Chain A
Amino acid sequence: MVTEAPGLARRYRDRTARKTLLVALVGAVLAASFIADIMTGPSNMPFWTVLATLIDPSSADAHTRLIVIDLRLPVALMALLVGAMLGVAGAEMQTILGNPLADPFTLGISSAASFGAALAITWQVALIPGVGPYLVPANAFALAFSTSLILYAFSRLRGVTSETMILVGIALLFSYNALLALMQYGATELELAQIVFWMMGSLARATWPKIAICAAVLVVVLPWFMMRAWALTALRMGDDKAASLGVNVKRLRIEILFGVSLLAAAAVSFVGTIAFIGLVGPHIARMLVGEDQRSFLPVSALASAIILSLASIASKTINPGVIFPIGMITSLIGIPFFISLILTIRRRNWQ
């Protein structure tokens, strides 16, 4: 009998090499989008000027430095970081809950953040004392994180399946939306405008400390998730199979939910509600590289970062001189794109 084994091994190695190349390619697209984001704005910046200023800020004149480093770089970086955070959060929520609809938005975490922000805007209630100028994001974080903890507490109850968790998430989403509506009903016109504006999501709130916090969360959580790559991939074959492969399913789920909570809460508390990124980024990754977490996780992060970065460019170019709220853009432009993507590549996963 002729053995096929060497051929199989070679095909696997080829496929792995293709995936690595794809990850690099997606990374390159992200870099291009990042530079383009900085180039775009009321006063256009040529590519080489942007690149030179980024590499050596002291080489540029004061005006260029102000625009590139102080005004546009924080926004472009924030788009990258928040996109990656939401993408990773969405990817792992979908993995641990075994549901393609799970993301920080559908599970009520974004609504909780909005409610927290509204509490700060209308009643000036500080849920975390001593946060000073960070009252709104701190409140948003406190509520988003405690909502994740509620989900987490539910997941520890006996006999709670991933379907139950999704239902609890949806129940939370509607509860917070109702509470939010209550706050809006009692708010003054100015407060109402502030709440609505916060909920639309904006990258213009980017500051260096916020960027540092987001980067720190990502730097801690992403490698931690990567270490669990095999166990997380195993989870996609069902709890029973994963357990028989030696995965401590319960502990893994709780651990990952905690990390996801941290990512999602930090992201939405700084930029407001940006729906859809945590849903689409992972779906694109799934279509590109499949669900082997060793490539699925990085591509989810990169693809989501690209979407938010492109949305940031679009928010500035649709009507020059006006920056549209980013959350609006991601939904308006992203959803038709997403639907066309689903219709072109109809893979039968998740059915």
Chain B
Amino acid sequence: MTLAIRDLSFAYPRKPVLHGVDAGPLPRGALTALIGPNAAGKSTLFRCIAGLLPRYTGSIALDGAPLEALAPRARVKRVTFMPQFFAANAALSVFDVVLLARKSLSGWAVNQADINAVASVLDAFGIGHLSEADIGALSGGQQQMVSVCQALVREPDVFLFDEPTSALDLKHQLEIMTAIARETRRRNAVTLVALHDLNLAARFADHAVLLRDGKVIADDAPGHVLADAALAETYGVAIDLITHEGTGLHVSASLR
């Protein structure tokens, strides 16, 4: 029960991005951190898995069955991708947009189960008080939380979160990552989270994949990937790992 990526390559016109990416099998019920510097191809890899960039070569298999064999609609149902940027100024309430994420895949009419699902996801993330607010009036961090709710209100097998914590303060970063890790286990889903913050990766990931210039450099337990000399090399910094009794591994980076 896994997600396996084999020899995946993708190029935008005149701009190759991914070169034979091999990753996995990524287990279900586990959170995988996708780390790597800017422009390493993290977002592009997510788009390929989600089927938004269909012209890639190689294969992506979920539980042994190739995702490429699925119709676009069926694929979107099984793989939920949360893009990094979200700046909406539409006259829509938070409840509306989370409901929308659920309804854009299934029948037209809204039923009781839909309403309850949206209400409980907003409640679980502590943004119930924003439910009637216009999304345009939210702060960047609040919009990001709404975006995560949009993903979690659906019931796919694979979650792809692109930088879900980039606009959040410390407390909300921890809350969102805790919620994502909890839901991953509860639903037995394959979850990939692109993260810039290596400490969040060290703290929450069960598995880590290091991407650099469109290639996988390391694909292992976070402790191993973070300790790998290739990590310091990839980011161009010196990295020290510190173990704290309560919270596990911590990454301390400095300029070389």
Chain A residues with a Cβ under 8 A of chain B = 3-9, 11-13, 15-16, 227, 229-231, 233-234, 236-238, 240-248, 286-287, 290-292, 347-351
Contact = CB atoms under 8 A, between A and B. Distances in A.
Contacts of B77: 246
Given A8-B122, A234-B104, 16 more contacts: A3-B123, A5-B122, A7-B128, A13-B115, A15-B93, A15-B132, A230-B100, A231-B104, A237-B90, A238-B88, A241-B83, A245-B76, A246-B73, A291-B92, A349-B91, A350-B89
Interface in B115-170: 115-116, 118-120, 122-123, 128-129, 131-132, 134-137, 150
Interface residues of B, number: 46
B70 to A, nearest CB: 12
Given A11-B131, A230-B103, A233-B100, A244 B50 contact: yes
A238 B87 contact: yes
Nearest to A228: B108
20 contacts: A3-B120, A8-B123, A9-B116, A15-B132, A229-B108, A230-B108, A234-B104, A236-B90, A240-B83, A244-B81, A245-B104, A247-B104, A248-B72, A290-B96, A347-B91, A348-B136, A349-B90, A349-B91, A351-B89, A351-B136
B100 A8 contact: no
A237 B137 contact: no
A286 B150 CA distance: 23
Task: Among B73, B92, B96, find the residue whose CB has the most chain A CB atoms closer than 10 A.
Answer: B92
Contacts of A15: 93, 95, 132
Given A234-B100, A237-B86, A290 B91 contact: yes
Given A233-B92, A243-B52, A349-B89, A5 B123 contact: yes
A246 B104 contact: yes
Contacts of B136: 348-349, 351
Given A8-B119, A236-B90, A348 B100 contact: no
Contacts of B253: none
Task: Among A4, A11, A242, A350, find the residue whose CB has the most chain B CB atoms closer than 10 A.
Answer: A4
A350 B95 CA distance: 20
B11 interface: no
A236 B92 contact: yes
A290 B128 contact: no
Contacts, number: 118
Interface of B: 50, 52, 72-73, 76-77, 80-83, 85-93, 95-97, 99-101, 103-105, 108, 110, 115-116, 118-120, 122-123, 128-129, 131-132, 134-137, 150
A8 B128 contact: yes
A238 B150 CA distance: 14
A236 to B, nearest CB: 4
A227 B109 CA distance: 10
Contacts of A287: 91
A83 B96 CA distance: 28
Nearest to B99: A12
Nearest to B121: A5
A314 to B, nearest CB: 29
Contacts of A241: 83, 86, 88
B91 A286 contact: yes
Contact of A292 (B83, B96, B150): B96
A274 to B, nearest CB: 25
Contacts of B120: 3, 5
Give 10 closest A-B pairs by Cβ, nearest first: A246-B76, A236-B90, A8-B119, A4-B128, A5-B119, A9-B119, A290-B91, A5-B123, A291-B91, A245-B104
Contacts of A8: 95, 118-119, 122-123, 128, 131
B137 A348 contact: yes
Contacts of B132: 11, 15
A117 B80 CA distance: 51
A292 B123 contact: no
A76 B89 CA distance: 37
B108 A227 contact: yes
Contacts of B52: 243-244
A243 B88 CA distance: 14
Contacts of A4: 119, 122-123, 128-129
Contacts of B72: 246, 248
Contacts of A351: 89, 136
Contacts of B104: 230-231, 234, 242, 245-247
Contacts of A349: 89-91, 134, 136
A240 B53 CA distance: 12
A229 B28 CA distance: 34
Contacts of A11: 95, 131-132
Contacts of A247: 104
A245 B96 CA distance: 14
Task: Among A9, A16, A291, A350, find the residue whose CB has the most chain B CB atoms closer than 10 A.
Answer: A9
Contacts of B83: 240-241, 244
A347 B100 CA distance: 22
Contacts of A5: 116, 119-120, 122-123, 128
Contacts of B119: 4-6, 8-9, 12
Contact of A245 (B93, B101, B116): B101
Contacts of A245: 76, 100-101, 104-105, 150
A15 B132 CA distance: 9
Contacts of B91: 286-287, 290-291, 347, 349
Contacts of B99: 12
Nearest to A288: B91
